[in-house]
Every structure is written in structure tokens, then in C-alpha cells.
Amino acid sequence: MRRGRSKGALKHETQSHKPSLAAYEKSSGKKQISIMLDASLISALDERGKHRSKQIGQDLRRYYRLLAEGRLALRTRFSTEKLSLILEACNGWTMDPEAPRHLWIQVADGTRLKGLDIKWTVPDLPGLLRRLQELTWLESLALADTVERFWQAKRKGDQLNDPSRALE
């Protein structure tokens, strides 16, 4: 515990920096949508409960919370320049479910073909590529999510289209 702070103050301080989906949980603006799922996902849903719609909502809340936590962890690992390079290298890249693991290849190609490491002043490209290769699966997913959210925000003119805010 830090000196000069009560247990309650420390708990509040720690919680205020944690990603939260409380706004989603309390939202009364629910909307019915239709989705197509393959048999393996339906089976996985059925293992968790009998109300598929509620389960999908709960699973998505959990997944988005994990992504938010992953982005929070990545903030200290990538400078704005490195993140800008990553974002630009992945512009237009269509990601399949396994793509996050191979994001480093997209970055390597972007630097080799477009000189993005020079454009974004990233002197230690091998170190960046190694760091991308060493990401956990969750970190890879969070970074891929960052890329997708960034380019969607860019298309919409949203505030998250600033690379310095992309990991929020």
C-alpha cells in the first residue's frame, strides 16, 4: 500500500483506472439483431446456458472487457510513433480470427515496402517486430482490436482516430 493513502482511497484510485463496461450493462437501449453462427459456436453457447441471446451478450461484455484491459496493458509498451507505424501498416488489412498472431508480419511488410519505420522514426525495427511476436494471445487480440477501432473511427471522424488515443 502507498504511504499517506487510506485503503479505501487506494481501492477507489485503482478502480478508476480499470476499464469498465458498466455503461453497457445498465443500458436500457437494447436492440434485437440477427446473427449467423457456426455449429461450434452454438455448441459452446449451449454449454454455458439455455438462453443464447443473454449468453452472447454476457460473452461479448466479457470479451470487450478483456480487450479494454489488454489495451490498457499495451499503453506502456508502444510509443505513439510505434503505434502509428503499426496502425498505418495494418490499414486496409482484413483480419481473420488467426490474424492477430501474424500482425508482426503485416508491420514487417509495411516497413519493407513503404519505409514506415523511417516515416514514423522507429529506430529499432527488429526490437519492435520481436516485441510484436512475443505478445500473448490476449495482447495480440487487443492490438488487432485497436487497429480495427482506429480505422473505423477514422472513417467516422471519431476522436479515437488519433494514434495517441487509440489504446483507450
Query: How far, rounded to the nearest angstrom, does the alpha carbon of residue 18 sit from its chain's CA centroid?
Result: 14
On whether residue 3 sits in a domain, the answer given is no
On whether residue 38 sits in a domain, the answer given is yes
CA separation, residue 69 to residues 66, 75, 96, 134, 159 (Å): 5, 10, 22, 18, 20
On whether residue 40 sits in a domain, the answer given is yes
User: Is residue 13 scored above 80 in pLDDT?
Assistant: no
- Total Cβ atoms within 10 A of residue 48: 13
On whether residue 21 sits in a domain, the answer given is no
C-alpha cell at 126: 527488429
Q: How many domains does the chain have?
A: 1
On whether residue 18 sits in a domain, the answer given is no
pTM reported for the whole predicted model: 0.78
On whether residue 24 sits in a domain, the answer given is no
On whether residue 57 sits in a domain, the answer given is yes
Range of the domain at 137: 33-168
56-99 confidence digits (pLDDT tens)? 999 999 999 999 999 999 999 999 999 999 999 999 998 988 89
SS3 77: coil
Asked whether the beta carbons of 70 and 138 are under 8 A apart, the reply is: yes
121-136 confidence digits (pLDDT tens)? 999 999 999 999 999 9
